[in-house]
Structure 1
Amino acid sequence: MSEASRSVLSQAQIAHFIEHGYVKLEGAFDGGLASQGRDQLWPAMGLSPDAPETWKQPVIRLGFITGTPFVEAANTPLLHASYDALVGKDRWLRPNGLGTFPVRFPSPNDPGDAGWHVDASFGTDNPDFMQWRVNVKSSGRALLMLFLFSDVGEQDAPTRIRKGSHRAVARRLLPAGERGLTLGELAAGGFTSTADCEEVLATGDAGTVYLCHPFLVHSAQEHRGARPRFMAQPPLLPRGEFDPSLPPSAVQIAIRRAIGMEL
């Protein structure tokens, strides 16, 4: 099926996003772009795909990158239509690159970052990332996105997702209002309210993208495979603050349903 022929998310996919907190898009960008991206990421790490003896660390983090394959991967017609479907037309900013990239390597060592969490939305100028904040409107973040730049199987450190966990996080954030909670405050309870959620692994071929609700609880894990895993986990940024005069987006509908608010 060509990209043009599936340029809009189905109602079933949107309903899945609202209920479960994510939608998986296979072939969201071309595998050739993924290969070009890896070719740029290897030298950025100072490593070679042909020298596994030099892969000493379980994870290396690379920041935001604006190279051509990353800009093109983030801005395919399918992804633009999907951003419109989940966030609302003209309510998001066109990505000018991708990042961060937590590149994970086969290793018996604990990567040290495998705790359950949500990604912060605002207050990110604070040097202590545990003071970064999230509020019930998801100020500063329209989506969490996972771009697979390599094939990712179950042994290749796929991101772990707690299906439907965004609903519990919305309810936790509601009493905190616009000020919201810090990551430290959110993590203080260990996300026990989401412990019974079904766990899903973000696997797929290179070119797969997971578009996730900003409140989705997720976690890294150890790499037990044979080849490094390349993935970008950028936010989709909103064009502005929540506007109650506009029809609610799929992201907002999910929040409203979670907190018992009439649509």
Structure 2
Amino acid sequence: MTKLLTDRQILQFISDGYIKLENAFPQEVAEEGRAILWKDTGCVPDDPTTWIHPVIRLGNYAQEPFQKAANTAILHAAFDQLVGKGQWLPCNSLGTFPVRFPSREDPGDAGWHVDASFPGDDPTDYFSWRININSKGRALLMLFLFSDVSDTDAPTRIRVGSHIDVARMLAPAGDAGMSFMELAQQLDQTNQRREVLATGKAGTVYLCHPFLAHAAQPHHGTTPRFMAQPPLLSAEPFQRYRHDGNYSPVEIAIRLGIGI
């Protein structure tokens, strides 16, 4: 399992900022997880009249189905190849789930952004959390599909290759980095990038570079979307300069972004 990803997939990750792994965890595990999530939404699965909000955010999920989903042999092998053996921490929770429902309402959270990874002055204010050039605290952005997601089911939008642009934006800020909002306000520099949608069957996982620009969108389909977006936490900061030249794909992409 140590060579799960092909050279082509590794190169795609470096250049595009993401790879899609189908069947990364079993569909029956996704079904078990959905049953827990449906109960916590307070909505009835077969009664759309109870789906009155465009999005419901559910809390921290670490029950058995979610731990199973996050810790398959396939994912662990991919983590080793993209981040480096011993460079990531086991994922014990899938964090929050923004469950999206078919709705004509604006969900109010569909702006382009890069997920922050360490606290700023106020740890309780996520908008003040920060991102730096070494991606302190975060090894990967991950998208876990717990339901089938088509083009109309509010799939996450991804700007292909935007992680290269973001590395260039972050470099002048050094170790202090930029806040979530400071960086978000500069992401119009990635407007020229091609957009793809994170679609797939339940059990699909998108493994993304931590600097990848992405965005939510309204749900125009008929089936609620269940997806987790947890970080893969890093055991130590990424390095832009290594004496042995043994860079991970995440580090190679950062180096490309800053012109090395």
Q: After TM superposition, is the score higher than 0.5?
A: yes
Deviation for aligned residue 1:188: 2.3
Q: Give CA deviations for 1:7-53 in whole Å, capped at 9, x if unaligned.
A: 61111001000000000001101000000000000111222212221
Matched length: 256
Percent sequence identity over matched residues?
59
CA distance in 1 between partners of 2:63 and 2:43 (Å): 18
Q: Residue type matched to 2:197 in 1?
A: L
Structure 1 contact 7–77 (Cα < 8 Å) conserved: no
CA distance in 2 between partners of 1:83 and 1:188 (Å): 30
Q: Give CA deviations for 1:127-146 in whole Å, capped at 9, x if unaligned.
A: 22221100000001000000
Alignment TM-score, normalising by the size of structure 2: 0.95
Alignment TM-score, normalising by the size of structure 1: 0.94
Give the match for residue 259 of structure 1. 258
CA distance in 2 between partners of 1:98 and 1:109 (Å): 27
CA distance in 1 between partners of 2:55 and 2:155 (Å): 13
CA distance in 2 between partners of 1:96 and 1:150 (Å): 21
Structure 1 contact 166–214 (Cα < 8 Å) conserved: yes
Q: Which consecutive segments of 4 or more residues in structure 1 shift more than 6 A?
A: none
CA distance in 2 between partners of 1:245 and 1:141 (Å): 23
The equivalent position to 2:75 in structure 1, one of 76, 79, 82, is: 79
Deviation for aligned residue 1:245: 5.4
Match status 1:181 vs 2:186: no
Q: Give CA deviations for 1:190-245 in whole Å, capped at 9, x if unaligned.
A: x1110010000000000000000000000000000001000000000011233545
Q: Residue type matched to 2:174 in 1?
A: G
CA distance in 2 between partners of 1:211 and 1:240 (Å): 19
Query: Which structure 1 segments of 5+ residues have no match?
Result: none
Structure 1 contact 158–202 (Cα < 8 Å) conserved: yes
Structure 2 contact 3–81 (Cα < 8 Å) conserved: no
Match status 1:21 vs 2:20: no
Q: Residue type matched to 1:103 in 2?
A: V
Match status 1:235 vs 2:231: yes
Superposition pairs for residues 1-263 of structure 1, below 5 Å? Answer: 8-123=4-119, 126-189=123-186, 191-242=187-238, 244=242, 247-261=246-260
Query: Which structure 2 segments of 5+ residues have no match?
Result: none
